C-alpha cells in the first residue's frame, strides 16, 4: 500500500515540474496519473519511491492519483518555503486586533500549515500538516508576512496560484535549523546537541522545569492577597490604595504580582468593543467588572481582544489588572496603545490607576527552551521536506542569536549551502533583523554589556551573508518597533520579499535594494562613503549619524551630509580607520534611495587616498 508524506495532500500547490515521493512495498511498481499523463516507477529496497511529474499550465484544481491514493484540489503554481522564527509565524489576527487591518480572502493563496516540534534523535521522514486556502476561518490564522509576500506576487500574476509551505518556529536560533553534520563544525553547539541526546535527559529536564515553574506559580497564588481578597471584584474597596501613572514602573517588586484598578464611565455603545492593552511583562490578566476578559501568559504577545458582548455596560465599569513578573520585572511597556475602542469612539486607559503589590517573590528561573537547541527543529520540520522542487525560500530569523553574533555568518552560510543543495539551488531571501531597543542587552545595575552593540554586530554579519550566491537580503531597519520584538507591520516586509523574488527567482530587471555601501575614502580631513543603488539618496527624520573609529579605537559620533548620492563628513585631523552607520539596536535615522528602499546598517574599513 502506498503512503505519501503529508506535504503531498489535498489542496496542495506544486510547480510545473514537480517531484513527489512516498513509500510502498519494496520493489513495488507505482503508477501515477496527472492531467491525462501517466508516470511510473519502482520502489527501492527500503520501499521509497520517487516520481517526477509535469504540468502543461498553471491553474487548478486538478486531481492526482499516486499508487491508488487520490489527491484532490491540486493546483499548479509558484511554491515557496517560509521559515525562521516568530516574526515569520505571526498570524493575521494580531494585525486585525491592533490596527483594524482587514485581511482579504484570496483562494489563490494556499498554505501548508505544518505541525511544530523538535527532535534530537534523527531526521524525520514526514512532517504532519494540512493545506488551507486563504479563505474562511483559516484567514485569521494565516501567517501575515508570507500572506503579504504571496499577495504581492499575485498582483503581477493573478492567475498563478502561490503555495506557501510554512515551517517557522518562534525563539529558534540559526543552529536549530542545521543538520548534525554541519553542527559538528561548532564544538560548543555540538556539545549542546550531544548533551541533550543523553537517555531521558530531555524528559528529566522538562519535568524538573515544569515542577519548578508550577511550584513557583502555586506559591504565588497562595501569597497573592489580590486573589484571596478578590481585588478584581467591582465591590472591593480600594480607597486606601495608592495611585500611580499606568506606565510608571518605579519601585515595583522585581518579581511577584502587582494589581491595578480603575473605574471608568462609558457611554451607551453599539457594536463590538476591542480592548487594546499594549504589552505587559511577563504575564497579565485583565478583569472587567469582575470577570476575566483576557489572560496573556507570557511577555511577547499583545494584550488585545474583542470583548464578549455584555461584559461592559453603560455607566460605571471596574477594570482590574494583575501583572506577574517571574523571570522579568512586572511592568507595562510604554509607547503602546492602552484603550477601549468601539465604533462610536474610544476610551483611553492610560493616566492614573490605583495600585498595590499582591506578593513579592524570588525570581523564577526560566525553563529550557528546547526548540532553540541545535538540530532539533531541523530534524522535525525541515529534514522531511528536503528534495521538494520549489521556486525559493523566504527566511526571517536572527533575534535569538544576538547574544553570540560573531558566529552568525559562518553558521548561516552552512544553512544556505544546505538549503541550496537540497532544494535545487532555489533562491534564498532572508531578512536582516529589524530595529528594536533590546532592554536586556546591557545591565545598567551591574555594568556589563554594550547597549545595542550585539544587535548591530549581528546585522553586519547578516549583511555580509548577501555575498552567498543566489541569496538576497531584505533590509527591515525601518520596519520594527522600538518597544516590541514582534512589530505588526508585516505588510512592508512581505512586499520587499516579493520584490527580491521577482528579480532573483523570476528574472525581472528591477531595483530591489536600497543604498548598498561599496567603499569609504578619507582625504584631507574629509570622509566620503560611496554606495551603489543610491540614486536620490535621502535621510528620514534628520541627518545621518556615523560612528568614525580612529586609530586608537575611539568612536566619534558625527553628522554626515548628503552630496552627489554619497555621505560626506568632516573629520578633521584624526586618523580614521573604520566607519559605522546605524550601529545600534534601534538606529535613529534611516537612509533611503529614490525607490524608498532603506540602506542596511554597516561597518566598513576606510581607505586613505
Q: What is the pLDDT of residues 98-151, one digit of tens each?
A: 777 788 999 999 999 999 999 999 999 999 999 999 999 999 999 999 999 999
Rounded Cα gap, residues 208 and 205, in angstroms: 5
Band of the pLDDT at 480, cuts 50, 70, 90?
very high
- CB-based contacts of 341: which residues, under 8 Å, 6+ apart? 273, 274, 276
Residue 391 shares a structural domain with residue 273: no
Residue 289 has pLDDT above 90, yes or no: yes
Residue 206 is given by DSSP the state H
Are 358 and 238 a contacting pair, CB within 8 Å?
A: no
CATH number, residue 292: 2.60.120.260
Residue 455 lies in a domain: yes
CATH number, residue 493: 3.40.50.1110
CB atoms within 10 A of CB 177: 30
pLDDT in tens, 519-573: 999 999 999 999 999 999 999 999 999 999 999 999 999 999 999 999 999 998 8
Residue 443 has pLDDT above 80, yes or no: no
Averaged pLDDT for residues 358-375: 94
Residue 370 lies in a domain: no
**Which of 477, 504, 531 is the last residue in one of the domains?**
504
Residue 350 shares a structural domain with residue 460: no
Residue 381 shares a structural domain with residue 491: yes
Residue 593 has pLDDT above 90, yes or no: yes
Residue 588 lies in a domain: yes
Cα 481 from chain centroid (whole Å): 13
Q: To which residue does cell 462609558 refer?
A: 266
The cell numbers describing 80, all together, are 515557496
Residue 377 is given by DSSP the state H
Residue 86 shares a structural domain with residue 45: no
Averaged pLDDT for residues 399-423: 97
Residue 356 shares a structural domain with residue 342: yes
Residue 393 lies in a domain: yes
Residue 99 shares a structural domain with residue 131: yes
- CB-based contacts of 240: which residues, under 8 Å, 6+ apart? none
What is the C-alpha end-to-end distance of the chain, expressed in Å?
73
Out of 115-129, 265-279, 487-501, 594-608, pick the least confident. Answer: 265-279
Q: Do the bridges between strand 17-23 and strand 48-54 make them parallel or antiparallel, or are there none, so unpaired?
A: antiparallel
Rounded Cα gap, residues 483 and 84, in angstroms: 21
**Which of 44, 60, 76 is the last residue in one of the domains?**
76
Residue 171 has pLDDT above 80, yes or no: yes
Residue 356 shares a structural domain with residue 243: yes
Residue 446 has pLDDT above 50, yes or no: no
Residue 338 shares a structural domain with residue 425: no
CATH number, residue 526: 2.60.40
pLDDT in tens, 318-345: 999 999 999 888 999 999 999 999 998 9
How many distinct structural domains can be found in the chain? 4
pLDDT at 175: 98
Residue 316 lies in a domain: yes
pLDDT at 327: 86
Residue 488 shares a structural domain with residue 381: yes
Residue 64 shares a structural domain with residue 84: no
**Residue 327, helix vs strand vs coil:** coil
pLDDT in tens, 482-529: 999 999 899 999 999 999 999 999 999 999 999 999 999 999 999 999
**Which of 337, 360, 383 is the last residue in one of the domains?**
360
Rounded Cα gap, residues 464 and 582, in angstroms: 15
Rounded Cα gap, residues 173 and 39, in angstroms: 41
Residue 294 shares a structural domain with residue 424: no
- CB-based contacts of 23: which residues, under 8 Å, 6+ apart? 2, 3, 43, 47, 48, 49, 125
The cell numbers describing 588, all together, are 535613529
Closest CA to 128 of 8, 286, 220: 8
Closest CA to 97 of 322, 297, 278, 327: 278
Residue 365 lies in a domain: no
pLDDT in tens, 44-102: 999 999 999 999 999 999 999 999 999 999 999 999 999 999 999 999 888 778 777 78
Residue 197 lies in a domain: no
Q: Mean of the per-residue pLDDT values for the chain?
A: 95
Residue 542 is given by DSSP the state S
Rounded Cα gap, residues 104 and 429, in angstroms: 25
Domain carrying residue 36: 13-76
CB atoms within 10 A of CB 45: 7
CA distances from 443 to 299, 405, 458, 483 (A): 19, 18, 19, 17
Residue 447 has pLDDT above 70, yes or no: no
Beta-sheet strands, E only, within 515-601: 516-523, 526-532, 538-539, 545-550, 555-559, 561-563, 566-570, 576-581, 591-592
DSSP-assigned beta bridge partners for residue 113: 130, 166
Residue 577 lies in a domain: yes
Q: Do the bridges between strand 471-474 and strand 428-431 make them parallel or antiparallel, or are there none, so unpaired?
A: parallel
pTM over 0.85: yes
Residue 86 shares a structural domain with residue 67: no
Amino acid at each position: 500500500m502506498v503512503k505519501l508524506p503529508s506535504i503531498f495532500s489535498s489542496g496542495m500547490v506544486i510547480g510545473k515540474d514537480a517531484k513527489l515521493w512516498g513509500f510502498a512495498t519494496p520493489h513495488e511498481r507505482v503508477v501515477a496519473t496527472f492531467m491525462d499523463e501517466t508516470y511510473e516507477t519502482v520502489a527501492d529496497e527500503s520501499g521509497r519511491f520517487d516520481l517526477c511529474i509535469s504540468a502543461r499550465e498553471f491553474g487548478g484544481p486538478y486531481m492526482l492519483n499516486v499508487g491508488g491514493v487520490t489527491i484532490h484540489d491540486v493546483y499548479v503554481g509558484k511554491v515557496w518555503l517560509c521559515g525562521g522564527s516568530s516574526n515569520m509565524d505571526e498570524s493575521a489576527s494580531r494585525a486585525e486586533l491592533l490596527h483594524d487591518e482587514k485581511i482579504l480572502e484570496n483562494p489563490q493563496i494556499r498554505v501548508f500549515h505544518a505541525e511544530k516540534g523538535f527532535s534530537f534523535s534523527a531526521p524525520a521522514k514526514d512532517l504532519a500538516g494540512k493545506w488551507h486556502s486563504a479563505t474562511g476561518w483559516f484567514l485569521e490564522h494565516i501567517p501575515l508576512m508570507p500572506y503579504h509576500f504571496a499577495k504581492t506576487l499575485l498582483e503581477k500574476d493573478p492567475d498563478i496560484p502561490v503555495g506557501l509551505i510554512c515551517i517557522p518556529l518562534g525563539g529558534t536560533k540559526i543552529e536549530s535549523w542545521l543538520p548534525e553534520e554541519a553542527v559538528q563544525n561548532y564544538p560548543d553547539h555540538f556539545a549542546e546537541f550531544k548533551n541533550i541526546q543523553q537517555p531521558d535527559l530531555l524528559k528529566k529536564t522538562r519535568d524538573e522545569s515544569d515542577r519548578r515553574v508550577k511550584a513557583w506559580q502555586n506559591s504565588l497564588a497562595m501569597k497573592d492577597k489580590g486573589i484571596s481578597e478578590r481585588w478584581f471584584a467591582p465591590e472591593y474597596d480600594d480607597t486606601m490604595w495608592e495611585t500611580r501613572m499606568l506606565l510608571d514602573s518605579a519601585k515595583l517588586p522585581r518579581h511577584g504580582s502587582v494589581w491595578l484598578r480603575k473605574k471608568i464611565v462609558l457611554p451607551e455603545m453599539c457594536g463590538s468593543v476591542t480592548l487594546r492593552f499594549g504589552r505587559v511583562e511577563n504575564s497579565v490578566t485583565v478583569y472587567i467588572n469582575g470577570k476575566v476578559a483576557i489572560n496573556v501568559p507570557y511577555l511577547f504577545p499583545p494584550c488585545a481582544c474583542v470583548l464578549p458582548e455584555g461584559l461592559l455596560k453603560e455607566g460605571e465599569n471596574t477594570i482590574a489588572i494583575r501583572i506577574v513578573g517571574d523571570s522579568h520585572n512586572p511592568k507595562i511597556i510604554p509607547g503602546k496603545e492602552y484603550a477601549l475602542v468601539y465604533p462610536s469612539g474610544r476610551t483611553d486607559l492610560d493616566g492614573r490607576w490605583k495600585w498595590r503589590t499582591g506578593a513579592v517573590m524570588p525570581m523564577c528561573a526560566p525553563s529550557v527552551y528546547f526548540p532553540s537547541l541545535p538540530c532539533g527543529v531541523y530534524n522535525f520540520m525541515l529534514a522531511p521536506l528536503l528534495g521538494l522542487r520549489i521556486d525559493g525560500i523566504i527566511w526571517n530569523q536572527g533575534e535569538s542569536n544576538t547574544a553570540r553574533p560573531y558566529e552568525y555568518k559562518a553558521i548561516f552560510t552552512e544553512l544556505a549551502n544546505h538549503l541550496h543543495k537540497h532544494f535545487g539551488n532555489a533562491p534564498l531571501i532572508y531578512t536582516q533583523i529589524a530595529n528594536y531597543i533590546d532592554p536586556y542587552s546591557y545591565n545598567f545595575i551591574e555594568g556589563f554589556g554594550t547597549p545595542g552593540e550585539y544587535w548591530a554586530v549581528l546585522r553586519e554579519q547578516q549583511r555580509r551573508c548577501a555575498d552567498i550566491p543566489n541569496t538576497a537580503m531584505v533590509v527591515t531597519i525601518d520596519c520594527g518597533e522600538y518597544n516590541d520584538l514582534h512589530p505588526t507591520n508585516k505588510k512592508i516586509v512581505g512586499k520587499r520579499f516579493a520584490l527580491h523574488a521577482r528579480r532573483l527567482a523570476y528574472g525581472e530587471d528591477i531595483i530591489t535594494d536600497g543604498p548598498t555601501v561599496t567603499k569609504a575614502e578619507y582625504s584631507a580631513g574629509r570622509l566620503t562613503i560611496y554606495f551603489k543603488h543610491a540614486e536620490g539618496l535621502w535621510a528620514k527624520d534628520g541627518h545621518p549619524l556615523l560612528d568614525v573609529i580612529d586609530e586608537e579605537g575611539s568612536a566619534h559620533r558625527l553628522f554626515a551630509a548628503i552630496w552627489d548620492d554619497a555621505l560626506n563628513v568632516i573629520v578633521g585631523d584624526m586618523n580614521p580607520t573604520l566607519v559605522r552607520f546605524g550601529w545600534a539596536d534601534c538606529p535613529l535615522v534611516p537612509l533611503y534611495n529614490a525607490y524608498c528602499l532603506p540602506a542596511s546598517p554597516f561597518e566598513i574599513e576606510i581607505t586613505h587616498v
